[in-house]
């Protein structure tokens, strides 16, 4: 079983030989290929199950409880080239409203910090749009450790709690930020032109909404590393969230290894995906109504969506995947999910396969937990438990989804094992099973799952998000093959701190010189 590094570089094919000898070699290869195809065709025609005949896959479930092989890489988001501290004089204030759920907001905060750096702006603590999505008002202060956020990013951007008043002609005046709606996936040039011009004109700008409003793929490794510093170092949850999460993890781990699964079998995702046909007529009406109210009109055919892997995996399908991989009914599973659509009818087959299912309420029944399981705080608790679990499995890892950031965080957090089902490759396997062609089912599942990375370093290929896989920008090697992959010096923070102190000393010196000049 391949637990270690992926084959990151493909070897070049050898050049063919010319002349008659080369032609005979090619002819021999063609005959061999034809013979192999004939044998495979014969084997396939005799297999009534419809899954094909393949050798037994080498997936060893016991090995998945340990971390994936790092291949000599380790996480590092510290600057590796000249990275001057933020200038003492900024171009104005940047305020943003982060919409969506917890993880959509996390990526928006990372983008806001990067935008502030690009524009030499002072960042105002971001607004979290908790009210419309979660019906709560916890805000940035209620979820994140503000002191840690500001301290961690002191070498990168200036951050304030709110836009301060200014004194002009002996009067106190409020700065009213100019409201802008950034284009989706806006390039850096939009921020250095349109946004910066309005900032200089008004003194402050307010970007809303601010989800996916800065391009993910930026050809500047230092900018990408700044995103990682925000995501994996600056954005630390409040102490009470960490305390509750650690308590749940400790209780689960006292009984051995545990796996966390994000079951995205929820009304909003099912409605968005257009996956209606497996539900009752009444349930279908609920999903269709939800879709009409919340998403753009689009023709969606369930069979077509299912065939290309656009439907979230059902709980039963999740159980069948795990069983095929070799996990047995003693496996302890923590479920991170909202209310599952269709309820116990869909959970029953999963529970029959894996009865040791838990969630935050079944593990931890303290009064503190009961007060903090709703909204963003409850999502933050699930996030931390999934981050710390031995294995994490998402069932729908689309952009901005709960799993999106977690996959990247677990990669950065020491290549922790993840099981990422390829829904498109699995779809025909499950469809065949539903149609009665069950022979070779588990082997077909293993064959698909063997192609996953299991949390190891691997090349980011579209449409994979930077927040899902920040390799190689946010990783380094002590003995690299390429200079760009070399780890920064151990005293990099001392260097940055010296630069910051020197910058502020120069600023104080300039102010003193100006004062003396005025006095003379």
Q: Is the pLDDT of residue 347 over 70?
A: yes
511 CB-contact burial (10 Å; exposed 0-12 / middle 13-18 / buried 19+): exposed
- Tell me the longest C-alpha to C-alpha distance in the chain: 101
pTM: predicted TM-score of the whole model, two decimal places:
0.83
What pLDDT was estimated at residue 495? 86
- Distance from C-alpha of 396 to C-alpha of 311, rounded to nearest angstrom: 8
Residue 346's pLDDT band, with cuts at 50, 70 and 90, is very high
Select from 261, 286, 253 the least CA-distant residue to 271.
Answer: 286
Q: Residues 98-123: pLDDT tens digits?
A: 988 888 899 999 999 999 999 999 99
Residue 373's pLDDT band, with cuts at 50, 70 and 90, is low
Residues 236 and 248 sit within 8 Å (Cβ to Cβ): no
Residue 441's pLDDT band, with cuts at 50, 70 and 90, is very high
Q: Residues 181-206: pLDDT tens digits?
A: 999 999 999 999 999 999 999 999 99
Q: Is the pLDDT of residue 513 over 70?
A: no
What pLDDT was estimated at residue 487? 93
- The CA dihedral of 284, 285, 289, 295, to the nearest 10 degrees, is 20
Domain 239-265+312-477, architecture per CATH:
3-Layer(aba) Sandwich (3.40)
What pLDDT was estimated at residue 364? 75
Select from 419, 445, 420, 443 the least CA-distant residue to 430.
Answer: 445
Q: Residues 474-511: pLDDT tens digits?
A: 999 988 989 999 999 888 888 889 888 888 776 655 54
| Whole-number average pLDDT of the chain | 84
**Between residues 400 and 383, the one the model is more confident about:** 383
- Distance from C-alpha of 173 to C-alpha of 166, rounded to nearest angstrom: 5
The whole-number average pLDDT for the span 149-165 is 96
Q: Which of 113-122, 255-264, 448-457, 473-482 has the highest mean pLDDT?
A: 113-122
- Distance from C-alpha of 427 to C-alpha of 76, rounded to nearest angstrom: 37
Q: Is the pLDDT of residue 436 over 80?
A: yes
**Percent of the chain clearing pLDDT 90 (strictly above):** 62
- Distance from C-alpha of 70 to C-alpha of 53, rounded to nearest angstrom: 33
Q: What is the DSSP letter of 483?
A: G
What pLDDT was estimated at residue 366? 67
Buried b (16+ CB within 10 A) or exposed e, 48-76: ebbbeeeeebebeeeebeebbbbbebebb
Query: How much helix, strand and coil, in percent to the nearest 5, is found in the chain?
Result: 45, 10, 45
- Distance from C-alpha of 497 to C-alpha of 384, rounded to nearest angstrom: 30
Residue 90 exposure: Cα atoms within 13 Å on the Cβ side: 24
What pLDDT was estimated at residue 374? 65
């Amino acid at each position: 079983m391949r637990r270690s590094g992926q084959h990151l570089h493909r070897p070049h094919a050898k050049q063919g030989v010319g002349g008659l000898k080369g032609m005979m070699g090619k002819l021999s290869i063609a005959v061999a290929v034809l013979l192999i195809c004939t044998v495979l065709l014969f084997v396939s025609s005799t297999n009534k199950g419809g899954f094909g005949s393949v050798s037994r896959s080498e997936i060893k479930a016991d090995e998945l409880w340990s971390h994936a092989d790092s291949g000599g890489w380790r996480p590092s988001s510290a600057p590796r080239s000249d990275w001057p501290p933020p200038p003492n004089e900024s171009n104005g204030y940047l305020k943003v409203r982060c919409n969506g759920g917890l993880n959509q907001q996390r990526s928006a905060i990372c983008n806001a910090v990067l935008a502030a750096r690009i524009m030499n702006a002072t960042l105002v603590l971001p607004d979290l749009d908790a009210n419309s999505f979660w019906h709560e008002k916890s805000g940035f202060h209620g979820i994140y450790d503000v002191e840690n956020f500001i301290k961690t990013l002191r070498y990168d951007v200036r951050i304030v709690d709110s836009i301060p008043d200014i004194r002009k002609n002996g009067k106190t005046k409020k700065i009213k930020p100019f409201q802008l709606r950034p284009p989706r996936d806006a390039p850096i040039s939009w921020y250095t032109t349109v946004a910066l011009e309005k900032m200089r004109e008004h003194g402050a700008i307010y970007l809303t909404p601010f989800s996916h409003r800065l391009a993910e793929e930026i050809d500047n490794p230092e900018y990408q590393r700044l995103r990682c510093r925000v995501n994996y170092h600056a954005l630390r949850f409040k102490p009470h969230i960490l305390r509750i999460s650690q308590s749940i993890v400790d209780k689960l781990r006292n009984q051995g290894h545990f796996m966390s699964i994000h079951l995205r079998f929820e009304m909003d995702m099912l409605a968005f995906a257009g996956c209606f046909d497996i539900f009752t007529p009444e349930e279908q009406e609920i999903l269709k109504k939800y879709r009409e109210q919340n998403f753009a009109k689009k023709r969606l055919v369930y069979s077509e969506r299912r065939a290309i892997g656009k439907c979230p995996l059902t709980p039963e399908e999740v159980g069948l995947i795990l069983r095929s991989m070799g996990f047995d009914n003693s496996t302890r599973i923590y479920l991170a999910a909202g209310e599952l659509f269709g309820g116990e009818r869909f959970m029953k087959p999963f529970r029959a396969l894996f009865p040791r299912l838990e969630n935050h309420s079944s593990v931890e029944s303290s009064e503190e937990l009961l007060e903090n399981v709703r909204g963003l705080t409850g999502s933050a608790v699930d996030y931390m438990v999934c981050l710390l679990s031995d294995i994490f499995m998402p069932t729908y890892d689309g952009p901005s989804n709960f799993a999106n950031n977690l996959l990247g965080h677990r990669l950065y957090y020491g290549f922790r094992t993840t099981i990422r089902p390829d829904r498109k490759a699995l779809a025909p396997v499950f469809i065949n099973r539903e149609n009665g062609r069950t022979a070779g089912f588990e082997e077909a599942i293993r064959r698909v799952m063997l192609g996953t990375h299991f949390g190891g370093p691997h090349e980011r290929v579209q449409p994979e998000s930077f927040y899902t896989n920040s390799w190689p920008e946010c990783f380094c090697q002590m003995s690299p093959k390429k200079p760009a992959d070399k780890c920064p010096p151990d005293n990099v923070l001392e260097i940055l701190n010296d630069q910051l102190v020197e910058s502020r000393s120069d600023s104080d010196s300039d102010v003193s010189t100006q004062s003396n000049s005025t006095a003379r």
